[in-house]
Structure 1
Amino acid sequence: MENKQINFFKTKDINTVLKPFKKGTVVNIDNLEVREKQKELKLGLHGWYAICPSTELKKNKIHYFSLFDEPLLLFRDKNNNVRCIKNICPHRGSSFYGGSISNGELTCPYHGARFSSQGNCQNIDRITCSHIVDNNYDNYAKRIHLSQFKVVERESYIFIYFTDKSETDLNKFNDDSLISNYDLTANGFSVKDSVSEEVLVDFKCDWSRIIENHLDILHIFWVHGDTIPDKDVNKNVLVSFNQKININPNYIESIYFYKNNPTKEFIRIKYIPPGRILIYKGDPAASRYVQVLDHIPLGDNKARVIVRHYRKFLKNKFLNNLILFKEIQKKIFYKIFDEDYMILKTQTYNQKLGLIKNDEIKLLGEDRIINYFWNWYKKSEEKDNPWKHINKNKELNVYDEIILKYPPEIKKLEVINNINIIRKTFIRYAAPLVFLLLII
C-alpha cells in the first residue's frame, strides 16, 4: 500500500487533496491543519480602524490624518458627536487644513464656507457662505454634502469604518455589527477594574510589516531582551515552545506553551483584522493584563500604532505617582519601538526594491500565524485595492507635517515623557531634601 505525506495548505479542499491518489493510498493529514484551513478570515482591509484615543480629539479642534493615503479629518459637532469626513471642501476642492471649528461648525479657510450637522447627525448637509452673492445660492447650499465615514466611540477609542466609498448620508450605512469584533468585553476581557498606560507611535515604514512584527512574539528574546524587565526573556535564555493556532472568520489566535512544560502558557496573540492585535496570557476573563495594539495605515510607508496596556496590578494611584510607574512604562514602550524601528525600515527597503521574494524567505514552524496573516493580507489587498491613490501622489508630501507628529520618527512625545520623569523625580525626592537642608 502506498503511503504519501502531503501539504494541505497548498490545496483548496479535502476532495482536491484526495483526487490524485490511487485507491488504497494512505494519506497522512494533520487534522488540526485541515480544520484550520476550513476556517478562514472573512474580513478584509475595508473595515473598522481605531484612529485615535478619544482624549486626542479636543473640542473645537480638527484632527487630521489619512488612511491608505486618502486625506481625512475628525471633529466633534455641536452635539459632541464625532464626525469623519474627507479633507476636501466640496466648493472648490481645497483642504480644510487651516480651517476651524466653532459651535460644531466646520469652516473652510479658502472662502469661509461653513458646514454643520443636521437632524440626528446622520449627515452634514448645510453649507453657509453668507458673504457670497449668488441668486441661486440657497438651492446650491441645500445640495452640498460632505463625504463622510461612519464613526463610533467605544472604550475611549474613536473608530471609523473605512471603505472605498464614502457616504453623504450615513442613514445608508447599516453594517456596524463588525465593530463588536474589536470590543474587549466581546473578547472576554473585563477592563473596568484595570488601569492603563498608552502611547502613540508613528513609523515611516510599511504598515503590514509592523503587524507582522507584532505577531512575531519570539523576536522579543533577541531584540528586546535587555529592555523588557523579565529575567526569563533575553537572548541568553533559549526557550522552545509548542504553538496552538485558533482560526475563525473573525480572528487568528496563536498560543505558545513551554515545550518542557506543555501545560504552562507563555503568551498568546490575537489578530483581529484589519488592524488590532491583543497580547495577553491565559483566560481573558482572568488575565492580569492585556496589551492592545491598533495599527493605522496612514499611507505608503506611513503608519501609526496606538498602544494601550491594561493591567490589574499596581493600581494604587498614590503608589503609581510615587514610583512614576506610568512614565517608566511609557519609556519602556518607546524604547521597544525604537529597537524594532531599524528592522522595520530595512525590511521595508528590501521589500520595495523587490529583494524579498517568496523563494528567498523561509518561514519556520513558529511562523505559522505570520504565514496565515500574509495569505489573508495578499487576498484582501487584491480584493479591496485600498492603495489605489498611491501612484497618484507618489511625489506629493503635502500632508507629512500634519499627519506624522508622533515619535519615534519625531520624538516629541518621548521627549515630553522623559522631561516628566526628571521633573516629577525632582519634585518627589530632590525638592524635599533641599527643603530639609535649608531648614537645618
Structure 2
Amino acid sequence: MIKNQWYAIASSKEIKKNQLFSLKRLNMNLVLFRDNHNNINALIDKCSHRGAALSKGKVQNNCIQCPFHGLEFNGDGNCEKIPALGNFSKDNLKRFNIQNFLVKEQNEIIYIWYGNNKVSSEIPFFEELKDDNFSMKEITDIWNTHYSRAIENQLDVIHLPFIHHNTIGRGNKTLVNGPKTIIIENKTIITSANNEVDNGQKPLSPKESKIKNTFLKFNFPNIWLNHVSDNILIFIFFAPIDDENTKLYIRFYNKITNFKFINSFISIIGKYMNNIVQKQDKRVVITQNPKKSELKIKENLLQGDLPIIEYRKIRDCLQKGGFYG
C-alpha cells in the first residue's frame, strides 16, 4: 500500500446508525460505527482485554461495547468502562485503549487515512461528479486480486476488443494508437482509447495520438473515472481488502434528461450494464500472476501499455516517499 494517503474504503450507505459494521481493509480488521452526531468512527476490530471481535458487540453509550466482557471503547479508541471493575473505577483504563483511525465521510464515501500524523486535507474525488443534477446507482463486487491489478485493468486500452468484444469493445479495433497519457501533479493520470481497425497502417505514437471526448482519469491512491460524455460518467473506487482481494464499488452517473426520476431509471439500467462489463474483466484479471503489480515484474510491456507503465512508476515513487515527474 502507499502510505500517507486517503483511501476510499466503503460506501456511506453501508454504515447504519446504532449498528456496527465489520470490514477488512488495507490488511486490517476494522469496525466502523456512527456516533450520536452521525460521525463515522473506525477502530481496530479487536478488544484489548481478550482479543474478541468488537464488531460482534453493540453500540452502547456512544461507544462500542465488547460482546465478551462488556468493555466500552469510544470513537477515539479510549476505554471508557470495564464493568468487572465497577462503574466508578477509572484506574488503569488507559492501558486498555485500542487503535483508532482517522476517517472522513464525503461524496457518499468513507475514506480512511493510512499513514502518519501529518494528514492531508485534500480528499480524493472528481469535480465532475459534484453536479447535483446527476442520478447515481451503485453495484459492488469482490475480485480475488490485488487492488493494483484491478486499477491497471481500468487503464488498459489494449484489452477492449478482446475482453469486451460484444460490449464496449465492439468493432474489432485491435490496432492501438498511442495512447496519449497525461500526468497532473503526481496524482492524476488522464488517457483515452484511440484504437482503430487494423488495415495495415502503422500505429500513431503517444505524441501523435490524442485524448478523445471519451477518456479515463485516475487519482491516487484508488479512484477512477470513465468520462463517457458530459452526461454519463462511470466511477469506481477500488477498496483494498488485503494483498489478494479487492472490493470494487462501481457507480453509474447520468443526467441525460431534465427529469430526475427518468435519470434514476437510466442509472439502474446503467448499473446492470456496468455489472456485465466488470464481470468480463474479472474473469481474466483474477488469473494474472503475480496478483500484485509492481514496477518490475518481468512482463513484456507494449507501447499501448503506457498508462499502466506510468501508473507503476508513480505508485513506486509514492511508496518510496518520493515525487514522480
Quote how far apart the aligned CAs of 1:371 are: 0.6
**Hey, what's the Cα distance between the residues in 2 that align with 1:63 and 1:223?**
35
- Partner of residue 163 from structure 2, selected from 223, 246, 251: 223
**Hey, what's the Cα distance between the residues in 2 that align with 1:125 and 1:157?**
25
CA deviations on 1:419-439 (whole Å, 9 max, x unpaired) are xxxxxxxxxxxxxxxxxxxxx
| Aligned amino acid, residue 154 of structure 1 | Q
Residues 257 and 267 in structure 1, CA contact (< 8 A), matched pair in contact too: no
Residue equivalent to 2:313: 375
Residues 239 and 248 in structure 2, CA contact (< 8 A), matched pair in contact too: yes
The residue correspondences of 1:152-191 to structure 2 (distance < 5 A) are 152-163=104-115, 173-179=117-123, 182-185=124-127, 190-191=130-131
CA deviations on 1:41-64 (whole Å, 9 max, x unpaired) are xx9344111111211111111121
Residues 196 and 309 in structure 1, CA contact (< 8 A), matched pair in contact too: yes
Residue equivalent to 1:305: 248
Residues 222 and 235 in structure 1, CA contact (< 8 A), matched pair in contact too: no
Residue equivalent to 2:12: 54
| Aligned amino acid, residue 129 of structure 1 | I
Residues 103 and 112 in structure 2, CA contact (< 8 A), matched pair in contact too: yes
CA deviations on 1:341-371 (whole Å, 9 max, x unpaired) are 2211211xx32699xx855x32111211101
Quote how far apart the aligned CAs of 1:317 are: 4.1
1:140 partnered with 2:140: no
In terms of mean alpha carbon deviation, does 256-265 or 364-373 score higher? 256-265
In terms of mean alpha carbon deviation, does 197-206 or 93-102 score higher? 93-102
Aligned CA distance change for structure 1 residues 74 and 217 (closer, same or farther; 3 Å): farther
Quote how far apart the aligned CAs of 1:105 are: 2.0
Quote how far apart the aligned CAs of 1:203 are: 1.0
1:116 partnered with 2:55: no
Residue equivalent to 1:416: none
Residue equivalent to 2:201: none
Residues 180 and 210 in structure 2, CA contact (< 8 A), matched pair in contact too: no
**Hey, what's the Cα distance between the residues in 1 that align with 2:61 and 2:300?**
57
| Percentage identity across paired residues of the two chains | 25
Aligned CA distance change for structure 1 residues 240 and 266 (closer, same or farther; 3 Å): farther
**Hey, what's the Cα distance between the residues in 2 that align with 1:160 and 1:227?**
35
- Partner of residue 302 from structure 2, selected from 353, 364, 387: 364
Residues 196 and 311 in structure 1, CA contact (< 8 A), matched pair in contact too: yes
Residues 64 and 73 in structure 2, CA contact (< 8 A), matched pair in contact too: yes
Using the size of structure 2 for normalisation, the TM-score is 0.82
Using the size of structure 1 for normalisation, the TM-score is 0.62
Uncovered stretches (5+) of structure 1, i.e. residues with no partner = 1-42, 118-122, 166-172, 385-440
**Hey, what's the Cα distance between the residues in 2 that align with 1:376 and 1:70?**
24
| Aligned amino acid, residue 334 of structure 1 | N
1:249 partnered with 2:189: no
| Aligned amino acid, residue 191 of structure 2 | S
Quote how far apart the aligned CAs of 1:75 are: 0.7
**Hey, what's the Cα distance between the residues in 1 that align with 2:9 and 2:40?**
12
1:332 partnered with 2:273: yes
**Hey, what's the Cα distance between the residues in 2 that align with 1:358 and 1:381?**
16
| Aligned amino acid, residue 250 of structure 1 | K
Residue equivalent to 2:138: 198
Partner SS for 1:243: coil
**Hey, what's the Cα distance between the residues in 1 that align with 2:107 and 2:210?**
33
**Hey, what's the Cα distance between the residues in 1 that align with 2:10 and 2:29?**
15
Residue equivalent to 2:199: none
**Hey, what's the Cα distance between the residues in 1 that align with 2:99 and 2:211?**
51
| Aligned amino acid, residue 222 of structure 1 | F
**Hey, what's the Cα distance between the residues in 2 that align with 1:154 and 1:196?**
15
Residues 192 and 211 in structure 2, CA contact (< 8 A), matched pair in contact too: no
Residue equivalent to 2:227: 280
**Hey, what's the Cα distance between the residues in 2 that align with 1:144 and 1:154?**
31
Aligned CA distance change for structure 1 residues 262 and 205 (closer, same or farther; 3 Å): closer
**Hey, what's the Cα distance between the residues in 1 that align with 2:13 and 2:21?**
11
Aligned CA distance change for structure 1 residues 301 and 199 (closer, same or farther; 3 Å): same
Partner SS for 1:209: helix
**Hey, what's the Cα distance between the residues in 2 that align with 1:175 and 1:264?**
34
Aligned CA distance change for structure 1 residues 378 and 319 (closer, same or farther; 3 Å): closer
The residue correspondences of 1:203-214 to structure 2 (distance < 5 A) are 203-214=143-154
Partner SS for 1:138: coil
**Hey, what's the Cα distance between the residues in 2 that align with 1:353 and 1:192?**
37
Quote how far apart the aligned CAs of 1:71 are: 0.9
Instruction: Provide the alpha-carbon RMSD of the alignment.
Output: 3.2
**Hey, what's the Cα distance between the residues in 2 that align with 1:113 and 1:220?**
53
Residues 288 and 312 in structure 1, CA contact (< 8 A), matched pair in contact too: yes
Quote how far apart the aligned CAs of 1:145 are: 2.7
| Aligned amino acid, residue 290 of structure 2 | Q
